[in-house]
């Protein structure tokens, strides 16, 4: 199936198109059942590749809570120099939570890494080893300064709920690579859902089959397992009964494709029951692999995230099209406890979060590279917005900053070791080659062989796009 999808014809064939008419999973199987008598002759596949794709699948790593660009990725030497003095022209500025104090340098030094000498926070020594493969986008901007809307903006390009996440668009456009597994998987952190929860991987107004299936190392796919009270032979007998009864029912109703599609869905469900536990079974990995990821780390939060990293690799290997992996969760009664939202105590908070994030993520990137998966896997790192270069009045943390943040991409079709765009000397605002999530996803779709202006879906009066009415491909970061 994947080969079919990877054709480079300007328009896909009818079979591809028809496969979207049913579940993205039943795909080709149903199309064969439909036979030639369909009334769809003459229509064309809307999502066929507009150009040869560089990437087949996507891994999106999301650090919710607004991970600070000036403390992780975006080295601003002037911040060190002017530490403790007012931000010129913006003294006492009021942002999300209130007044801001003076400029505050990052609590940790930045160090050069890789051949490119990219300056990166010393809190991320393992990820630093990958900078030569990464294209940093330092000039991101958001349309919201609030976590929930910010997260869904970064995921769907809209600040309100109800729009499909990028993963849903990709599933809709490209379908499945392995029909025995979900096409789009959201792996949430052991600490809970990200801000705005399930809206981050929603199908929005796209049909339900394009939503992410939420599962993780700590939470298997719901309803996957046959109940314990039902033995394998009983399950077999039940399925046989259903097959016989449904076949006779369908036989009397020739031409009703839905009935056949539904029978096919039961067959696929059975296959999924075999494949999903297998792919989720981390015990099949070598002990040395577990050690590299840190799945048995003394810090239970790091160990849990490491297991999810390992699970991500296994999903990607087995043909899950889009994996959204979360490191940290929602806002809590204490800022910065459950996620990267360091309002009050940046140093303490990030000294908890960085070690959870660094080693497992780096191990995952290493594996993707070594196995060759990175050749056609696009890796994205996202957060919802950035943080102020100043400290929040009366605290040693930073408030929200929608005017500047960093994201990065790596892998299929990406030019490594580059830094695109820039913030001003303090990191307060993006000033050079200012970029948006629209541009970000225009680029992602481009690498998947899709034109972001052509991938549309009609909903309540508009032909909706992932990139709304904006977006430009960031050609400078393409290989």
188, 212 in Cβ contact below 8 A?
Answer: no
Q: Pick from 5, 16, 26, 68: which binds another protein (CB under 8 A)?
A: 26
- Of residues 380-399, those binding another protein (CB under 8 A): 391, 394-397
- Position 198 contacts another protein (CB under 8 A): yes
The minimum distance between CB 9 and another protein, in angstroms, equals 14
Nearer to another protein, 280 or 329 (CB): 329
Q: Are strands 134-140 and 405-411 parallel, antiparallel or unpaired?
A: antiparallel
- Position 101 contacts another protein (CB under 8 A): yes
325, 356 in Cβ contact below 8 A?
Answer: no
Alpha helices in 388-453 (DSSP H): 437-447
The minimum distance between CB 226 and another protein, in angstroms, equals 6
- Of residues 460-479, those binding another protein (CB under 8 A): 460-463, 472-473, 475-476
Q: Pick from 71, 74, 133, 257: which binds another protein (CB under 8 A)?
A: 257
Helix and strand element counts for the chain (H, E): 13, 19
- Position 205 contacts another protein (CB under 8 A): yes
- Position 414 contacts another protein (CB under 8 A): no
- Whole-angstrom Cα distance, residue 294 to residue 359? 7
Tell me the three state secondary structure of residue 218: coil
The minimum distance between CB 195 and another protein, in angstroms, equals 5
The minimum distance between CB 78 and another protein, in angstroms, equals 19
- Position 431 contacts another protein (CB under 8 A): no
- Position 274 contacts another protein (CB under 8 A): no
Question: What's the chain's length in residues?
Answer: 479
Nearer to another protein, 92 or 117 (CB): 92
Tell me the three state secondary structure of residue 59: strand
Q: Pick from 6, 259, 282, 422: which binds another protein (CB under 8 A)?
A: 259
N-term to C-term CA, the chain: 27
Q: Which residues on adjacent β-strands are paired with residue 137?
A: 407, 420
Residue 109, CA distances (Å) to 106, 168, 345, 392 in order: 7, 39, 17, 21
The minimum distance between CB 64 and another protein, in angstroms, equals 11
Segment interacting with another protein, rule: CB under 8 A, options 25-33, 52-60, 68-76, 370-378: 25-33
- Position 51 contacts another protein (CB under 8 A): no
With CB under 8 A, what is the number of residues at the site for another protein?
A: 125
The minimum distance between CB 439 and another protein, in angstroms, equals 9
Residue 124, CA distances (Å) to 71, 82, 355 in order: 10, 24, 8
- For the record, the structure tokens of 17 come out as 């198109």
- Position 107 contacts another protein (CB under 8 A): yes
Segment interacting with another protein, rule: CB under 8 A, options 288-296, 303-311, 357-365, 458-466: 458-466
- Position 355 contacts another protein (CB under 8 A): no
- Whole-angstrom Cα distance, residue 395 to residue 354? 20
- Position 230 contacts another protein (CB under 8 A): yes
- Position 251 contacts another protein (CB under 8 A): no
Segment interacting with another protein, rule: CB under 8 A, options 72-80, 121-129, 215-223, 368-376: 215-223
The minimum distance between CB 284 and another protein, in angstroms, equals 23
- For the record, the structure tokens of 373 come out as 């998966």
Q: Are strands 98-103 and 386-387 parallel, antiparallel or unpaired?
A: unpaired
Nearer to another protein, 229 or 288 (CB): 229
- Of residues 295-354, those binding another protein (CB under 8 A): 300, 329-334, 337-338, 344-345, 347-349, 351-352
Q: Are strands 400-401 and 386-387 parallel, antiparallel or unpaired?
A: antiparallel
Q: Pick from 1, 28, 263, 431: which binds another protein (CB under 8 A)?
A: 263
- Position 145 contacts another protein (CB under 8 A): yes
- Position 223 contacts another protein (CB under 8 A): yes
What lies within 8 Å, CB to CB, of 57 at 6+ separation is 177, 316, 319, 320, 321, 322, 323, 376, 377, 378
Cα R_g (the chain), whole angstroms: 23
- Whole-angstrom Cα distance, residue 295 to residue 314? 14
- Residue 87 DSSP class: P
- Position 282 contacts another protein (CB under 8 A): no
């Amino acid at each position: 199936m994947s080969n079919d999808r990877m054709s480079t014809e300007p328009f896909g064939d009818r079979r591809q198109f028809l496969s979207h008419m049913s579940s993205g999973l039943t795909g080709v199987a149903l199309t064969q059942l439909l036979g030639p008598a369909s009334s769809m002759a003459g229509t064309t596949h809307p999502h066929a590749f507009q150009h040869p794709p560089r990437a087949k699948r996507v891994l999106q790593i999301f650090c919710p809570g607004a991970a600070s660009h000036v403390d992780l990725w975006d080295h601003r030497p002037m911040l060190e120099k002017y530490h403790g003095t007012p931000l010129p022209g913006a003294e006492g500025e009021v942002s999300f939570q209130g007044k801001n104090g003076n400029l505050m340098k990052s609590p940790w030094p930045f160090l050069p890494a890789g051949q490119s000498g990219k300056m990166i926070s010393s809190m991320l020594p393992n990820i630093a080893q990958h900078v030569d493969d990464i294209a940093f986008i330092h000039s991101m901007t958001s349309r919201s300064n609030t976590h929930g809307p910010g997260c869904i903006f970064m995921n769907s390009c809209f600040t309100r709920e109800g729009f499909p996440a990028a993963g849903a668009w990709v599933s809709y456009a490209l379908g499945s690579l392995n029909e025995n597994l979900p096409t789009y998987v959201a792996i949430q952190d052991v600490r809970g859902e990200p801000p705005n929860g399930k809206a981050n991987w929603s199908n929005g107004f796209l049909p339900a089959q394009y939503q992410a299936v939420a599962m993780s190392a700590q939470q298997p796919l719901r309803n996957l397992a046959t109940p314990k009270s039902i033995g394998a032979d009983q399950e077999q007998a039940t399925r046989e009964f259903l097959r016989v009864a449904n076949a006779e029912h369908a036989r009397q109703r020739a031409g009703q494709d839905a009935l056949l599609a539904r029978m096919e869905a039961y067959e696929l469900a059975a296959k999924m029951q075999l494949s999903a536990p297998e792919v989720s079974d981390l015990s099949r990995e070598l002990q040395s692999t577990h050690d590299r990821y840190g799945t048995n780390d003394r810090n239970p939060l790091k160990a849990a995230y490491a297991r999810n990293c390992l699970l991500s690799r296994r999903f990607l290997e087995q043909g899950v099209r889009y994996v959204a992996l979360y490191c940290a969760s929602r806002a809590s009664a204490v800022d910065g406890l459950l996620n990267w939202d360091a309002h009050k105590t940046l140093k303490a908070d990030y000294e908890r979060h960085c070690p959870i994030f660094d080693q497992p993520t780096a191990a995952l990137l290493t594996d993707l590279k070594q196995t060759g998966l990175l050749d056609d896997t696009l890796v994205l790192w996202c957060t919802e917005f950035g943080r102020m270069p100043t400290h929040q009045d009366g605290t040693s943390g930073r408030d929200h900053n929608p005017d500047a943040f960093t994201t990065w991409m790596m892998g299929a079709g990406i030019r490594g070791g580059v830094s695109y765009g820039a913030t001003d000397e303090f990191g307060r605002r993006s000033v050079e080659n200012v970029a948006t999530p629209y541009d970000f996803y225009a680029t992602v779709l481009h690498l998947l062989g899709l034109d972001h202006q052509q991938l549309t879906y009609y909903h309540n009066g508009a032909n909706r796009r992932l990139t709304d009415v904006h977006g430009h491909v960031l050609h400078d970061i393409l290989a």
